[in-house]
């Protein structure tokens, strides 16, 4: 069953596997083979969604391994580090400190030296937490250990300079990535765009976006929807392309074309969030939505969320372009997509909450109540989340009145 779950993620529920495991007599880990133990840890160390529940479940398994006196492999330590730093939406110093404690336990107590993946996880966490001094220390330690940099590290370095609002650093890191023979794909260019926007270099970000529109290959346009495990396969292919390109330089242009650089959902989410929420530029948002359609990029809830946030922030003011009529068009598009059962699109409390706030700001509480009723007809929420929405609507309507 574990093997089936690893190969066919949607066919076997991880909850069922965990229930079978917990039915074993304690200490449970001694009752399964080493091969099955590694598969089990891989399954729960690489969840579809990194959140507190998946982190706690994996750490419970790791604790049972340690209690049995069994050594963890390097990859299993890396799973723990990744979950410890990425189970929250925004990485803070708390997650970084815990990751450093894990790293110390891994190297000093367990005697397992970190590899390039270990350092990329730590560097990424330090960068996102704004601990640039730690990030620089980790980068120097990688060089001291002669750990070979790969595309993960180079994309992380671009992101690092973006967080520092160092546009020259972003350019230098990107140039270094290209010169190192790494494949430049949509993921890397999205990182360049968001980094330039953080640096206040809007025109530079748009220049990258226009490049993506002009040179994006069909391979990129036809990539499947965002999926963690498919992304892993794509990443391995890019590593292979880079390796072949270094050995046979004349093949590099063809391989780079296959890598794919067309805009994807993340590209448009980044741009719509910046130009809509931050800048209030409705014209740009309309342009990006039109180009999403041209590139056949499937819409997801994050784009609608960004638009509703923008209406809440910029609407409800005299002479604002963010009018109630335009908000109604966005709502109609969302409801139509829900009714057509667009893959990956659903009504969650966060999306509905911002939509209702937008209607409270741009229209009135009566219309917001009507929108809520439309959502009720279409949502698929567990009872506790439905009760949350009822309470949320009652609060915002009461606050308005």
Q: What is the mean pLDDT of residues 161-180?
A: 94
Every domain of the chain and the residues it spans: 149-262, 297-401
Q: pLDDT digits over 286-337, tens only? A: 999 999 988 888 888 999 999 999 999 999 998 999 999 999 999 999 999 9
Rounded Cα distance between 278 and 20, Å, is 49
Direct distance between the N- and C-terminal alpha carbons of the chain, in angstroms, rounded to an integer: 55
Whether residue 360 is predicted with pLDDT greater than 60 in this model: the reply is: yes
Predicted pLDDT of residue 299: 85
Label residue 349 exposed, middle or buried (CB < 10 Å: 0-12, 13-18, 19+): middle
User: Are 304 and 265 within 8 A, CB to CB?
Assistant: no
Predicted pLDDT of residue 219: 47
User: Are 346 and 301 within 8 A, CB to CB?
Assistant: yes
Helix (H) or strand (E) holding 124: helix 116-128
Helix (H) or strand (E) holding 65: helix 52-67
Percent of the chain at pLDDT exceeding 90? 64
Q: How confident is the model at residue 232 (pLDDT cuts 50, 70, 90)?
A: low
Q: pLDDT digits over 260-275, tens only? A: 889 999 999 999 999 9
Whether residue 215 is predicted with pLDDT greater than 80 in this model: the reply is: no
Tokens coding 250:
């004349």
More confident residue, 149 or 36: 36
CA 36, 37, 40, 46 dihedral sign is: negative
Assess if CATH 3.10.20 describes domain 297-401: no
User: Are 197 and 274 within 8 A, CB to CB?
Assistant: yes
More confident residue, 306 or 395: 306
Full-model pTM: 0.81
Axis crossing angle, helix 301-314 with helix 349-362, rounded to the nearest 10: 30
């Amino acid at each position: 069953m574990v093997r089936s779950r690893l190969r066919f993620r949607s066919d076997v529920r991880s909850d069922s596997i965990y229930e079978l495991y917990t039915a074993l007599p304690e200490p449970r880990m001694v009752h399964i083979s080493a091969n099955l133990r590694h598969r089990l840890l891989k399954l729960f160390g690489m969840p579809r969604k990194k959140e507190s529940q998946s982190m706690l479940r994996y750490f419970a398994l790791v604790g049972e391994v340690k209690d049995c006196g069994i050594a963890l492999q390097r990859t299993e330590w890396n799973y723990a580090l990744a979950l410890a730093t990425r189970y929250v939406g925004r990485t803070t110093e708390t997650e970084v400190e815990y990751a450093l404690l894990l790293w110390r336990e891994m190297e000093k107590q367990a005697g397992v030296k970190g590899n390039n993946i270990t350092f990329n996880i730590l560097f990424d966490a330090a960068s996102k937490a704004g601990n640039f001094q730690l990030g620089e220390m980790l980068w120097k330690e990688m060089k001291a250990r002669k750990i070979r940099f790969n595309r993960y590290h180079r994309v992380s370095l671009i992101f690092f300079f973006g967080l520092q609002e160092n546009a020259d650093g972003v350019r230098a890191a990107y140039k270094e990535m290209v010169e190192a023979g790494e494949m430049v794909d949509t993921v890397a260019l999205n990182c360049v765009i968001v980094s330039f926007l953080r640096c206040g270099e809007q025109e530079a970000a748009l220049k990258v976006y226009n490049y993506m529109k002009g040179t994006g290959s069909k391979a990129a346009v036809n990539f499947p929807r965002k999926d963690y495990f498919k992304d892993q396969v794509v990443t391995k292919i890019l590593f292979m392309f880079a390796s072949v390109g270094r050995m046979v330089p004349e093949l590099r242009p063809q391989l780079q074309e296959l890598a794919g650089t067309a805009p994807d959902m993340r590209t448009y989410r980044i741009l719509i969030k910046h130009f809509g929420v931050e800048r209030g530029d409705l014209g740009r948002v309309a342009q990006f939505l039109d180009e999403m359609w041209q590139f056949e990029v499937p819409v997801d809830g994050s784009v609608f969320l960004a638009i509703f946030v923008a209406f809440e922030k910029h609407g409800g003011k005299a002479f604002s372009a963010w009018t109630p009529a335009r908000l109604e068009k966005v709502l109609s598009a969302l409801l139509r997509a829900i009714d057509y059962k667009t893959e990956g699109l659903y009504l969650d409390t966060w999306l509905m909450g911002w939509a209702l706030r937008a209607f409270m700001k741009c229209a009135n509480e009566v219309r917001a109540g009507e929108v809520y009723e439309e959502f009720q007809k279409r949502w698929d929420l567990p009872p506790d989340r439905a009760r949350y929405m009822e309470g949320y609507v009652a609060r915002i309507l009461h606050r308005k009145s």
